[in-house]
Structure 1
Amino acid sequence: MVPLKRRKVANSGTLNAGTHNSAATQPNKFPQVILFLLERKMGASRRAFLSQLGRRKGFQVEELFSKNVTHVICESNTAQEARMWLEAQGAGQAGRHLLDVSWYTESMRDGHPVEILDRHKLQDILENGTSSEVESTKESERFKALKVLTGIFGVGSKTADRWIREGIHNLQQLRDSGQTLNRAQQAGLEHYDDIKQPVSLAEAEAIRGIVGRAVASVSPEAQIVLTGGFRRSEISSFI
């Protein structure tokens, strides 16, 4: 019997190190751009893949966050999450771009850092406390109508959206439209202004007393506790 020759198997640690080094030694085409990919929600595997891709394209992608980083790339992170993460690193946003991963993938596609547009940015909320896109949406007629109609007890966003598409944008238009409303919606429309008013602590205490007496007659050991804003000692709260 002729013995089979054993093939040499490369040490996995050496192979991984070689792969990492080859990616890291690619020439840096854009020295003014130093990238860091935030792993949270992106995941370790995807982060590693995107980092390797960036290095092959000539971008400097850092494994560890440092003060030299100019662009922090996030995926599915909110602005608040990004800010909290930066604060945990003892760093602020000053001098850095907080960007959605879409900017990164578009830059990889084009082979160079693309122009940073509003849709790429996260720092709008961080710097100003507001988002221009959010504020624009809030000022839109559709948003205003949606807010009014969903304020009716028993009306959800799907129903309100259908009414808006039918040309109903306010309470009077709804009353004049002849729409068929269920009992909850009828009551919600009829008592709209009353329901939108905050309940005072005195009123809540009175209601608690009535409910408490009814519950005690059935279950004497039960406790009735006010929740929401009243639990935080606020003098009024919305239902």
Structure 2
Amino acid sequence: MEKFIFPSLSPHKKKQKVTEPLKSFGNYEIKFKDIVIFIMERKMGSSRRMFLTELARKKGFQVESVLSDSVNHIVAENNSCAEVLEWIHKQNLRNNPKMEVLDITWFTESMGAGKPVEIEKRHRLMVRLNCNIPRSNSSNTPPESSSVVAISPYACQRRTSLNNYNKLFTDAFEVLAENYEMNENKGPYLGFMRAASMIKSLPYAISSMKDLEGLPCLGDQTKAVIEQCCQDTEKSTIKSCINFARSQSIILFTSVFGVGQKTAEKWFRKGLRTFEEVQVHKETKLTKMQIAGFLYYEDLSSFVTKPEADAIGQIIEDTVRLFMPDALVTLTGGFRREKKIGHDVDFLITTPVPGNENGLLEKVIDVLHQQGILLYCDVVESTFDKSRLPSRKVDALDHFQKCFAILKLLKQKVITSNCEEAEEPSNTSTKEWKAIRVDLVITPFDQYAFALLGWTGSRQFERDLRRFATHERKMMLDNHALFDKNK
């Protein structure tokens, strides 16, 4: 399978069917000049489209036979939101903030009334979203200024603000998803994660089931939870969802650095419920990573702030450039997505000259150790094998050389900008340093762009991006390259 090099090659595109201009059998007076309609032929057929066009023109509506920038009402029949979105993206139209994309029901009701009826939410195939919501806006209602944007079923095609107007719902979905993941029930897990991701992108608070009309990624289970929560004024349904988990002990165990799902299950089956029971249990053998996880648990379980991440970044960058002055050291993960807090700090390291990255990680680790700030490190060597790529798994791990480390950050090195208010870390210890989880990833320069995309996240965004590449573009994307499936 050949590597796809963007943009010199592109996938073969199916020839688009050209919509023929419709002939009108009479000259009719235009009564409603502010409304310009275009009727989609897709899934309707040319005969029905011609009939509806002539009917509308007789009643004084202006109907364009060819889609143009003057159109402000697009009418579709038997098309989903995603299908209309894909079709619109293929048209060379200017951005029209007044564009309405409507179901055929609005058209037929308007024909029956002999005039344009008021557009209701049930008529819209596209949900009205505000593309410029200010960060300081804490309102739970959509701002008045809005434009028509489709809600795509793919997270990689949705604009998601850091403001989450439906945190109660998304928190409940994420806890339910985590529970299904623990039970290795992949279907409901993915369903709740996709629903949570989609609802996070909404610029308004959900108050009733009507607010869900036209939204993708909502299955029967997710809708049932939302319906119960909407009917429950005290939100006890949401609280019960958030408290719902297989075992609080398993959640507690997996919060320790180095403890995965299987290890937590194993300890639970042995009757262990607390950290103290795990540490005194004679048959429990802890790995070096788990020992470090328990030793620095108080620090590692607290949030890392953006100023702390920047301070760690300066240390890593200074150390790397002792050996490679032209090296690129990039902060990734949630902090690259402009989050203010996180659980760890991830860095991608590469060099413009191919091969110069070899041996760099070992040199960096040696210097950090000599400086006395390396509390723990675990190096995973590269397993990259070009002949075995790409991976067909959406959640497949990459094959880069990595270091999972814990660094000692002196609190005096953390400088908070006057123009940025940082949250105080939950650790109130009097010691002068804090242990912070740091991941260092070494990548060849020709794979750097793909690695940067993959390590930026979020997890659902990356999963949907790869699904989109596979299902919509017939390609395969991973952290190493983009592949054309036809080669």
TM-score range, shorter chain: 0.5 to 0.7
- Deviation string, structure 1 residues 9-36 (Cα, Å, up to 9, x no partner): xxxxxxxxxx9543x4344332332211
**How far 1:100 sits from its partner (Å)?**
1.0
Aligned partner of 2:166: which letter?
A: E
- Residues 1:161 and 1:54: Cα distance change in structure 2 (over 3 Å): closer
Match of 2:451 among 209, 220, 233: 233
1:116 aligns with 2:334: no
1:107 aligns with 2:116: no
Q: Which residue of 2 aligns with 1:73?
A: 75
Q: Which residue of 2 aligns with 1:63?
A: 65
Q: Which residue of 1 aligns with 2:30?
A: 28
**How far 1:225 sits from its partner (Å)?**
5.7
Match of 2:178 among 124, 128, 151: 151
Q: Confirm or deny: 8 A CA contact 1:150 1:160 kept in the other structure.
A: no
Q: For residues 1-239 of structure 1, what are the structure 2 equivalents within 5 Å?
A: 21-22=24-25, 24-75=26-77, 76=79, 77-78=81-82, 80-81=85-86, 83-86=88-91, 88-89=92-93, 91-94=94-97, 96-101=98-103, 102-121=105-124, 122=126, 124-125=128-129, 128=131, 132=142, 139=166, 141-152=168-179, 153=181, 154=184, 156=188, 157=192, 167=237, 169=239, 173-175=243-245, 193=255, 206=380, 209=383, 223=388, 230=398, 232-234=450-452, 235=455, 238=459
**How far 1:80 sits from its partner (Å)?**
4.3
**How far 1:172 sits from its partner (Å)?**
6.3
Separation of aligned partners in 1, 2:52 and 2:250: 51
- 3-state SS, counterpart of residue 148 of structure 1: helix
Aligned partner of 1:59: which letter?
A: F
Aligned partner of 2:171: which letter?
A: K
Q: Confirm or deny: 8 A CA contact 1:149 1:170 kept in the other structure.
A: no
Bigger share in helix? 1
Bigger share in strand? 2
User: Which ranges of structure 1 fall in alignment gaps of 5 or more residues?
Assistant: 1-18, 176-180, 213-220
Separation of aligned partners in 1, 2:40 and 2:46: 9
Separation of aligned partners in 2, 1:162 and 1:107: 34
- Deviation string, structure 1 residues 87-133 (Cα, Å, up to 9, x no partner): x14x3315x432212332321232211123445453734x6278959
- Residues 1:105 and 1:173: Cα distance change in structure 2 (over 3 Å): same
- 3-state SS, counterpart of residue 68 of structure 2: coil
State TM-score, norm by structure 2: 0.31
User: Which ranges of structure 2 fall in alignment gaps of 5 or more residues?
Assistant: 1-21, 134-140, 144-150, 152-159, 193-219, 229-235, 262-342, 349-360, 362-376, 399-446, 464-487
- 3-state SS, counterpart of residue 63 of structure 1: coil
- Residues 1:38 and 1:21: Cα distance change in structure 2 (over 3 Å): closer
**How far 1:222 sits from its partner (Å)?**
7.2
**How far 1:74 sits from its partner (Å)?**
3.8
State TM-score, norm by structure 1: 0.54
- 3-state SS, counterpart of residue 233 of structure 1: helix
Separation of aligned partners in 1, 2:54 and 2:121: 26
| Count of paired positions | 199
- Residues 1:123 and 1:65: Cα distance change in structure 2 (over 3 Å): farther
Separation of aligned partners in 1, 2:121 and 2:50: 27
Q: Confirm or deny: 8 A CA contact 2:32 2:62 kept in the other structure.
A: yes
**How far 1:207 sits from its partner (Å)?**
8.5
Aligned partner of 1:37: which letter?
A: I
Tell me which of the two structures has the higher relative contact order, counting C-alpha pairs closer than 8 angstroms and 6 or more residues apart.
Answer: 2
Q: Confirm or deny: 8 A CA contact 1:26 1:58 kept in the other structure.
A: yes
CA RMSD of aligned residues (A): 5.2
Separation of aligned partners in 1, 2:397 and 2:53: 46
Q: Confirm or deny: 8 A CA contact 1:27 1:58 kept in the other structure.
A: yes
Aligned partner of 1:66: which letter?
A: S
Aligned partner of 1:173: which letter?
A: N
Aligned partner of 1:124: which letter?
A: R
- 3-state SS, counterpart of residue 107 of structure 1: helix
Percent of aligned pairs with the same amino acid: 23
- Residues 1:114 and 1:52: Cα distance change in structure 2 (over 3 Å): same
Q: Which residue of 2 aligns with 1:11?
A: none
